[in-house]
Structure 1
Protein backbone atom coordinates (compact mmCIF):
# COMPACT_ATOMS: atom_id res chain seq x y z
CA UNK A 1 0.00 0.00 0.00
CA UNK A 2 1.33 3.45 -0.89
CA UNK A 3 2.28 5.75 1.98
CA UNK A 4 1.55 8.84 -0.15
CA UNK A 5 -1.11 11.19 1.31
CA UNK A 6 -4.62 10.92 -0.05
CA UNK A 7 -5.25 13.46 -2.78
CA UNK A 8 -8.20 14.97 -0.99
CA UNK A 9 -6.23 15.55 2.23
CA UNK A 10 -4.35 18.61 0.98
CA UNK A 11 -5.37 22.21 1.33
CA UNK A 12 -4.17 24.58 -1.40
CA UNK A 13 -0.97 25.69 0.33
CA UNK A 14 -0.28 22.22 1.70
CA UNK A 15 -0.28 20.75 -1.80
CA UNK A 16 2.36 23.18 -2.97
CA UNK A 17 4.53 22.37 0.04
CA UNK A 18 4.03 18.65 -0.45
CA UNK A 19 5.35 18.96 -3.99
CA UNK A 20 8.33 20.99 -2.79
CA UNK A 21 9.04 18.40 -0.10
CA UNK A 22 8.95 15.65 -2.72
CA UNK A 23 11.33 17.66 -4.90
CA UNK A 24 13.68 18.11 -1.94
CA UNK A 25 13.69 14.36 -1.37
CA UNK A 26 14.68 13.80 -4.98
CA UNK A 27 17.30 16.55 -4.81
CA UNK A 28 18.78 15.07 -1.64
CA UNK A 29 19.27 11.79 -3.46
CA UNK A 30 20.47 13.06 -6.83
CA UNK A 31 20.89 16.82 -6.92
CA UNK A 32 18.98 19.20 -9.21
CA UNK A 33 18.94 16.82 -12.18
CA UNK A 34 16.89 14.35 -10.13
CA UNK A 35 13.98 16.77 -9.66
CA UNK A 36 11.16 15.71 -11.99
CA UNK A 37 7.69 17.21 -11.75
CA UNK A 38 5.81 14.02 -12.63
CA UNK A 39 7.74 12.04 -10.03
CA UNK A 40 7.03 14.74 -7.47
CA UNK A 41 3.30 14.37 -8.12
CA UNK A 42 3.57 10.61 -7.62
CA UNK A 43 5.44 10.99 -4.34
CA UNK A 44 3.02 13.63 -3.11
CA UNK A 45 0.06 11.49 -4.16
CA UNK A 46 -1.56 14.14 -6.36
CA UNK A 47 -2.56 14.34 -10.00
CA UNK A 48 -0.35 16.11 -12.56
CA UNK A 49 -3.21 18.51 -13.26
CA UNK A 50 -3.26 19.54 -9.59
CA UNK A 51 0.51 20.08 -9.65
CA UNK A 52 0.29 22.38 -12.66
CA UNK A 53 -1.90 24.73 -10.66
CA UNK A 54 1.17 25.46 -8.54
CA UNK A 55 4.11 24.95 -10.88
CA UNK A 56 4.13 25.75 -14.57
CA UNK A 57 6.86 23.22 -15.34
CA UNK A 58 9.84 21.34 -13.96
CA UNK A 59 11.99 24.47 -13.86
CA UNK A 60 9.39 26.22 -11.74
CA UNK A 61 9.39 23.36 -9.24
CA UNK A 62 13.18 23.20 -9.27
CA UNK A 63 13.45 26.90 -8.42
CA UNK A 64 11.11 26.38 -5.47
CA UNK A 65 13.19 23.40 -4.31
CA UNK A 66 16.35 25.46 -4.71
CA UNK A 67 14.92 28.21 -2.53
CA UNK A 68 13.92 25.70 0.18
CA UNK A 69 17.36 24.09 0.01
CA UNK A 70 18.91 27.49 0.62
CA UNK A 71 16.78 27.74 3.73
CA UNK A 72 18.24 24.43 4.91
CA UNK A 73 21.73 25.78 4.22
CA UNK A 74 20.88 28.81 6.35
CA UNK A 75 19.81 26.46 9.14
CA UNK A 76 23.19 24.72 9.03
CA UNK A 77 24.97 28.06 9.19
CA UNK A 78 22.80 29.23 12.09
CA UNK A 79 23.37 25.96 13.96
CA UNK A 80 27.11 26.51 13.65
CA UNK A 81 26.68 30.05 14.96
CA UNK A 82 24.79 28.79 17.99
CA UNK A 83 27.70 26.51 18.85
CA UNK A 84 30.08 29.48 19.20
CA UNK A 85 31.08 30.17 22.80
CA UNK A 86 31.53 33.90 23.28
CA UNK A 87 34.70 35.22 24.92
CA UNK A 88 33.35 38.63 25.86
CA UNK A 89 35.72 40.33 23.42
CA UNK A 90 33.60 41.77 20.56
CA UNK A 91 36.43 41.52 18.01
CA UNK A 92 37.32 37.93 18.88
CA UNK A 93 33.68 36.88 19.00
CA UNK A 94 32.91 38.50 15.64
CA UNK A 95 35.79 36.62 14.03
CA UNK A 96 34.66 33.37 15.60
CA UNK A 97 31.16 33.90 14.23
CA UNK A 98 32.35 34.60 10.68
CA UNK A 99 34.37 31.38 10.85
CA UNK A 100 31.33 29.49 12.13
CA UNK A 101 29.22 30.73 9.22
CA UNK A 102 31.75 29.35 6.74
CA UNK A 103 32.11 26.12 8.70
CA UNK A 104 28.35 25.58 8.72
CA UNK A 105 28.13 26.27 4.98
CA UNK A 106 30.83 23.72 4.20
CA UNK A 107 29.31 21.19 6.58
CA UNK A 108 26.06 21.47 4.65
CA UNK A 109 27.94 20.88 1.41
CA UNK A 110 29.61 17.77 2.80
CA UNK A 111 26.62 16.23 4.54
CA UNK A 112 23.88 17.21 2.08
CA UNK A 113 25.64 17.31 -1.30
CA UNK A 114 22.45 16.87 -3.34
CA UNK A 115 20.71 19.72 -1.55
CA UNK A 116 23.83 21.90 -1.70
CA UNK A 117 24.03 21.48 -5.47
CA UNK A 118 20.32 22.20 -5.77
CA UNK A 119 20.53 25.28 -3.57
CA UNK A 120 23.33 26.99 -5.43
CA UNK A 121 23.44 25.73 -9.01
CA UNK A 122 20.00 26.85 -10.18
CA UNK A 123 20.38 30.10 -12.16
CA UNK A 124 19.46 33.09 -10.04
CA UNK A 125 21.07 36.32 -8.93
CA UNK A 126 21.46 38.42 -5.79
CA UNK A 127 18.25 40.35 -6.47
CA UNK A 128 16.46 37.51 -4.66
CA UNK A 129 19.06 36.87 -1.97
CA UNK A 130 16.71 38.15 0.73
CA UNK A 131 13.52 36.44 -0.44
CA UNK A 132 11.53 34.88 2.38
CA UNK A 133 11.30 31.52 0.59
CA UNK A 134 15.09 31.21 0.89
CA UNK A 135 15.06 31.74 4.67
CA UNK A 136 15.68 29.07 7.26
CA UNK A 137 13.88 28.41 10.51
CA UNK A 138 15.15 31.62 12.10
CA UNK A 139 13.97 33.81 9.24
CA UNK A 140 17.32 34.56 7.56
CA UNK A 141 18.64 33.51 4.19
CA UNK A 142 22.23 32.28 3.76
CA UNK A 143 23.23 35.65 2.33
CA UNK A 144 21.71 37.45 5.30
CA UNK A 145 23.48 35.18 7.77
CA UNK A 146 26.81 35.95 6.11
CA UNK A 147 26.09 39.68 5.72
CA UNK A 148 25.10 40.11 9.35
CA UNK A 149 28.20 38.29 10.57
CA UNK A 150 30.33 40.63 8.46
CA UNK A 151 28.40 43.63 9.79
CA UNK A 152 29.34 42.50 13.30
CA UNK A 153 32.97 42.16 12.21
CA UNK A 154 32.82 45.72 10.89
CA UNK A 155 31.13 47.04 14.03
CA UNK A 156 33.84 45.45 16.16
CA UNK A 157 36.50 47.36 14.26
CA UNK A 158 38.05 44.29 12.62
CA UNK A 159 36.77 44.95 9.09
CA UNK A 160 37.63 48.49 7.96
CA UNK A 161 35.09 50.69 6.19
CA UNK A 162 36.93 50.51 2.87
CA UNK A 163 36.82 46.71 2.86
CA UNK A 164 33.27 46.16 4.11
CA UNK A 165 31.54 46.78 0.78
CA UNK A 166 31.35 43.58 -1.24
CA UNK A 167 33.02 41.47 1.44
CA UNK A 168 30.16 38.96 1.19
CA UNK A 169 31.04 38.19 -2.41
CA UNK A 170 34.69 37.54 -1.64
CA UNK A 171 34.10 35.39 1.44
CA UNK A 172 31.25 33.47 -0.19
CA UNK A 173 33.16 32.81 -3.40
CA UNK A 174 36.16 31.47 -1.52
CA UNK A 175 34.22 29.13 0.76
CA UNK A 176 31.85 27.99 -2.00
CA UNK A 177 34.83 27.17 -4.19
CA UNK A 178 36.16 24.69 -1.68
CA UNK A 179 32.70 23.16 -1.29
CA UNK A 180 32.28 22.60 -5.01
CA UNK A 181 35.84 21.36 -5.57
CA UNK A 182 35.35 18.82 -2.79
CA UNK A 183 32.02 17.66 -4.22
CA UNK A 184 32.51 17.71 -7.98
CA UNK A 185 36.10 18.69 -8.65
CA UNK A 186 39.62 17.38 -8.14
CA UNK A 187 39.34 17.60 -4.34
CA UNK A 188 36.55 15.03 -4.12
CA UNK A 189 39.09 12.33 -3.29
CA UNK A 190 40.26 14.02 -0.10
CA UNK A 191 39.66 12.19 3.16
CA UNK A 192 37.47 13.71 5.86
CA UNK A 193 40.56 14.55 7.85
CA UNK A 194 42.15 16.31 4.89
CA UNK A 195 38.94 18.25 4.24
CA UNK A 196 38.73 19.26 7.89
CA UNK A 197 42.25 20.63 7.66
CA UNK A 198 41.55 22.40 4.37
CA UNK A 199 38.42 23.94 5.83
CA UNK A 200 40.22 25.41 8.83
CA UNK A 201 43.09 26.77 6.76
CA UNK A 202 40.71 28.27 4.23
CA UNK A 203 38.69 29.97 6.96
CA UNK A 204 41.89 31.36 8.46
CA UNK A 205 42.82 32.70 5.01
CA UNK A 206 39.40 34.36 4.69
CA UNK A 207 39.77 35.87 8.16
CA UNK A 208 43.16 37.34 7.33
CA UNK A 209 42.07 38.46 3.89
CA UNK A 210 39.08 40.38 5.20
Structure 2
Protein backbone atom coordinates (compact mmCIF):
# COMPACT_ATOMS: atom_id res chain seq x y z
CA UNK A 1 0.00 0.00 0.00
CA UNK A 2 2.84 2.39 0.86
CA UNK A 3 4.54 1.76 -2.48
CA UNK A 4 1.29 2.33 -4.31
CA UNK A 5 0.77 5.62 -2.49
CA UNK A 6 4.31 6.73 -3.21
CA UNK A 7 4.01 5.83 -6.89
CA UNK A 8 0.69 7.62 -7.16
CA UNK A 9 2.27 10.71 -5.61
CA UNK A 10 5.15 10.51 -8.08
CA UNK A 11 2.74 10.40 -11.01
CA UNK A 12 0.97 13.46 -9.68
CA UNK A 13 4.31 15.24 -9.27
CA UNK A 14 5.30 14.40 -12.84
CA UNK A 15 1.96 15.60 -14.15
CA UNK A 16 2.70 19.01 -12.64
CA UNK A 17 6.40 18.87 -13.51
CA UNK A 18 7.43 18.98 -9.85
CA UNK A 19 9.70 16.01 -9.26
CA UNK A 20 11.53 17.73 -6.40
CA UNK A 21 8.38 17.90 -4.27
CA UNK A 22 7.49 14.32 -5.19
CA UNK A 23 10.90 13.23 -3.90
CA UNK A 24 10.46 15.24 -0.70
CA UNK A 25 7.03 13.68 -0.18
CA UNK A 26 8.56 10.21 -0.54
CA UNK A 27 11.26 11.25 1.95
CA UNK A 28 8.63 12.41 4.44
CA UNK A 29 6.90 9.04 4.14
CA UNK A 30 10.17 7.27 4.89
CA UNK A 31 10.92 9.59 7.82
CA UNK A 32 7.45 8.96 9.21
CA UNK A 33 8.11 5.23 9.18
CA UNK A 34 11.64 5.22 10.56
CA UNK A 35 13.13 8.63 11.25
CA UNK A 36 16.07 10.31 9.51
CA UNK A 37 18.05 7.09 9.01
CA UNK A 38 15.37 5.86 6.59
CA UNK A 39 15.67 8.89 4.30
CA UNK A 40 18.00 7.44 1.68
CA UNK A 41 18.21 9.09 -1.72
CA UNK A 42 18.08 5.88 -3.75
CA UNK A 43 15.04 4.62 -1.85
CA UNK A 44 13.31 7.99 -2.24
CA UNK A 45 13.97 7.84 -5.99
CA UNK A 46 12.65 4.28 -6.17
CA UNK A 47 9.44 5.24 -4.38
CA UNK A 48 8.99 8.22 -6.67
CA UNK A 49 9.43 5.92 -9.66
CA UNK A 50 12.58 7.58 -11.04
CA UNK A 51 16.27 6.77 -11.25
CA UNK A 52 18.81 7.92 -8.69
CA UNK A 53 20.38 9.98 -11.45
CA UNK A 54 17.12 11.91 -11.86
CA UNK A 55 17.00 12.50 -8.10
CA UNK A 56 20.55 13.87 -8.11
CA UNK A 57 19.40 16.60 -10.48
CA UNK A 58 17.37 18.01 -7.59
CA UNK A 59 19.54 17.12 -4.59
CA UNK A 60 23.32 17.29 -4.39
CA UNK A 61 23.43 14.28 -2.10
CA UNK A 62 22.06 12.56 0.98
CA UNK A 63 22.51 15.55 3.28
CA UNK A 64 20.75 17.89 0.88
CA UNK A 65 17.73 15.59 0.63
CA UNK A 66 17.57 15.02 4.39
CA UNK A 67 17.71 18.77 4.99
CA UNK A 68 14.69 19.29 2.71
CA UNK A 69 12.75 16.57 4.55
CA UNK A 70 13.86 18.06 7.88
CA UNK A 71 12.38 21.44 6.88
CA UNK A 72 9.12 19.74 5.98
CA UNK A 73 9.05 17.93 9.33
CA UNK A 74 9.69 21.23 11.13
CA UNK A 75 6.77 22.76 9.27
CA UNK A 76 4.52 19.88 10.29
CA UNK A 77 5.61 20.28 13.91
CA UNK A 78 4.81 24.00 13.82
CA UNK A 79 1.43 23.27 12.19
CA UNK A 80 0.57 20.90 15.04
CA UNK A 81 1.54 23.49 17.64
CA UNK A 82 -0.44 26.18 15.87
CA UNK A 83 -3.58 24.05 15.61
CA UNK A 84 -3.61 23.50 19.36
CA UNK A 85 -2.90 27.17 20.10
CA UNK A 86 -5.66 28.42 17.79
CA UNK A 87 -8.19 26.20 19.59
CA UNK A 88 -7.53 27.89 22.95
CA UNK A 89 -10.70 29.62 24.24
CA UNK A 90 -10.53 33.37 24.72
CA UNK A 91 -12.39 33.53 28.03
CA UNK A 92 -10.87 35.29 31.01
CA UNK A 93 -9.18 38.19 29.26
CA UNK A 94 -6.03 38.58 27.12
CA UNK A 95 -3.60 37.60 29.88
CA UNK A 96 -5.35 34.36 30.74
CA UNK A 97 -5.69 33.53 27.04
CA UNK A 98 -1.98 34.16 26.48
CA UNK A 99 -1.14 31.86 29.40
CA UNK A 100 -3.34 29.06 28.05
CA UNK A 101 -1.86 29.55 24.59
CA UNK A 102 1.68 29.06 25.87
CA UNK A 103 0.66 25.86 27.64
CA UNK A 104 -1.14 24.68 24.51
CA UNK A 105 1.96 25.26 22.38
CA UNK A 106 3.92 23.06 24.78
CA UNK A 107 1.32 20.32 24.62
CA UNK A 108 1.25 20.56 20.83
CA UNK A 109 5.03 20.17 20.72
CA UNK A 110 5.12 17.09 22.92
CA UNK A 111 1.96 15.71 21.31
CA UNK A 112 3.55 15.83 17.86
CA UNK A 113 6.57 13.92 19.16
CA UNK A 114 4.29 11.20 20.53
CA UNK A 115 2.11 10.97 17.42
CA UNK A 116 4.92 11.30 14.86
CA UNK A 117 8.18 10.20 16.51
CA UNK A 118 9.91 9.54 13.19
CA UNK A 119 9.16 13.02 11.90
CA UNK A 120 10.04 14.58 15.25
CA UNK A 121 13.47 12.93 15.22
CA UNK A 122 13.93 14.03 11.61
CA UNK A 123 12.96 17.62 12.43
CA UNK A 124 15.94 17.80 14.77
CA UNK A 125 18.39 15.67 12.82
CA UNK A 126 21.80 17.08 12.02
CA UNK A 127 21.59 17.86 8.32
CA UNK A 128 22.72 20.76 6.17
CA UNK A 129 21.93 21.92 2.64
CA UNK A 130 24.61 21.46 0.02
CA UNK A 131 27.46 23.94 0.24
CA UNK A 132 27.12 24.72 3.96
CA UNK A 133 29.85 23.49 6.28
CA UNK A 134 28.19 24.47 9.53
CA UNK A 135 24.78 25.47 10.81
CA UNK A 136 24.86 29.28 10.93
CA UNK A 137 21.08 29.79 10.92
CA UNK A 138 20.96 30.93 14.55
CA UNK A 139 23.48 33.70 13.99
CA UNK A 140 24.64 33.24 17.57
CA UNK A 141 21.54 34.92 18.97
CA UNK A 142 18.10 34.31 17.49
CA UNK A 143 16.92 32.32 14.48
CA UNK A 144 15.67 34.34 11.51
CA UNK A 145 11.94 35.06 11.74
CA UNK A 146 11.26 34.13 8.12
CA UNK A 147 12.95 30.71 8.16
CA UNK A 148 10.56 27.73 8.05
CA UNK A 149 13.18 25.69 9.89
CA UNK A 150 12.61 27.77 13.03
CA UNK A 151 8.88 28.42 12.81
CA UNK A 152 8.11 26.35 15.92
CA UNK A 153 10.66 28.39 17.88
CA UNK A 154 9.19 31.63 16.58
CA UNK A 155 5.70 30.54 17.65
CA UNK A 156 7.07 30.11 21.15
CA UNK A 157 8.73 33.53 21.01
CA UNK A 158 5.47 35.18 19.95
CA UNK A 159 3.57 33.48 22.78
CA UNK A 160 6.10 34.67 25.35
CA UNK A 161 6.02 38.21 23.97
CA UNK A 162 2.23 38.15 24.23
CA UNK A 163 2.46 37.19 27.90
CA UNK A 164 4.60 40.24 28.60
CA UNK A 165 2.42 42.53 26.47
CA UNK A 166 -0.70 41.51 28.40
CA UNK A 167 1.04 41.97 31.74
CA UNK A 168 0.78 38.29 32.60
CA UNK A 169 4.54 37.72 32.66
CA UNK A 170 6.85 40.14 34.52
CA UNK A 171 9.20 41.75 32.01
CA UNK A 172 12.33 40.69 33.99
CA UNK A 173 11.33 37.05 33.40
CA UNK A 174 11.35 37.42 29.63
CA UNK A 175 15.11 37.14 28.81
CA UNK A 176 16.00 33.51 28.16
CA UNK A 177 12.42 32.30 28.59
CA UNK A 178 12.56 30.49 25.23
CA UNK A 179 15.44 28.33 26.43
CA UNK A 180 13.63 27.34 29.63
CA UNK A 181 10.36 26.48 27.90
CA UNK A 182 11.85 24.82 24.82
CA UNK A 183 14.43 22.71 26.63
CA UNK A 184 11.79 21.40 29.03
CA UNK A 185 9.34 20.48 26.27
CA UNK A 186 12.03 18.94 24.07
CA UNK A 187 13.67 17.01 26.87
CA UNK A 188 10.33 15.66 27.99
CA UNK A 189 9.45 14.66 24.43
CA UNK A 190 12.72 12.75 24.05
CA UNK A 191 12.25 10.98 27.40
CA UNK A 192 8.78 9.92 26.29
CA UNK A 193 9.72 8.60 22.84
CA UNK A 194 13.29 7.39 23.35
CA UNK A 195 13.87 7.31 27.10
CA UNK A 196 12.68 5.50 30.22
CA UNK A 197 9.31 7.27 30.18
CA UNK A 198 8.26 5.57 26.95
CA UNK A 199 6.66 2.74 28.92
CA UNK A 200 4.42 4.92 31.04
CA UNK A 201 0.70 4.11 30.87
CA UNK A 202 -1.24 6.75 28.95
CA UNK A 203 -2.81 8.30 32.05
CA UNK A 204 0.56 8.62 33.82
CA UNK A 205 2.20 9.97 30.68
CA UNK A 206 -0.49 12.64 30.29
CA UNK A 207 -0.15 13.61 33.94
CA UNK A 208 3.63 14.01 33.53
CA UNK A 209 3.14 16.23 30.49
CA UNK A 210 0.63 18.47 32.26
CA UNK A 211 2.79 18.70 35.37
CA UNK A 212 5.90 19.65 33.40
CA UNK A 213 4.11 22.29 31.35
CA UNK A 214 2.31 23.74 34.39
CA UNK A 215 5.62 23.98 36.25
CA UNK A 216 7.34 25.84 33.41
CA UNK A 217 4.44 28.26 32.92
CA UNK A 218 4.17 28.94 36.66
CA UNK A 219 7.90 29.62 36.87
CA UNK A 220 7.80 32.05 33.97
CA UNK A 221 4.86 33.98 35.44
CA UNK A 222 6.08 34.14 39.03
CA UNK A 223 7.26 37.55 40.22
CA UNK A 224 10.95 37.81 41.06
What whole-Å deviation, never above 9, does each CA across 1:35-69 have from its counterpart, x for those lacking one? 10000001111221221121111111111111100
- Aligned-pair CA distance for 1:119: 0.5
- Corresponding residue for 1:102? 106
RMSD between superposed Cα atoms in Å: 1.9
Determine which of 39, 42, 60 is the counterpart of 1:38: 42
Does the alignment pair 1:22 with 2:37? no
- Does the Cα contact within 8 Å between 1:129 and 1:143 map onto a contact in 2? no
- Does the Cα contact within 8 Å between 1:130 and 1:143 map onto a contact in 2? no
TM-score (norm 1): 0.89
Structure 2, unaligned runs of 5 or more = 128-134
- Corresponding residue for 2:178? 168
Structure 1, unaligned runs of 5 or more = 136-140
Determine which of 191, 194, 200 is the counterpart of 2:204: 194
Does the alignment pair 1:134 with 2:149? yes
> 1: distance between equivalents of 2:23 and 2:14?
14
Q: For structure 1, which segment, 76-85 or 44-53, has the greater mean C-alpha deviation from structure 2 after superposition?
A: 44-53
> 1: distance between equivalents of 2:206 and 2:144?
28
What whole-Å deviation, never above 9, does each CA across 1:68-90 have from its counterpart, x for those lacking one? 00100011101101221111411
TM-score (norm 2): 0.84
- Aligned-pair CA distance for 1:8: 5.2
Determine which of 15, 18, 26 is the counterpart of 1:9: 15
- Aligned-pair CA distance for 1:173: 0.3
Report the CA distance shift for 1:8/1:203 in structure 2 as closer, same or farther (over 3 A). Answer: closer
- Aligned-pair CA distance for 1:129: 5.5
Report the CA distance shift for 1:8/1:79 in structure 2 as closer, same or farther (over 3 A). Answer: closer
- Corresponding residue for 1:74? 78
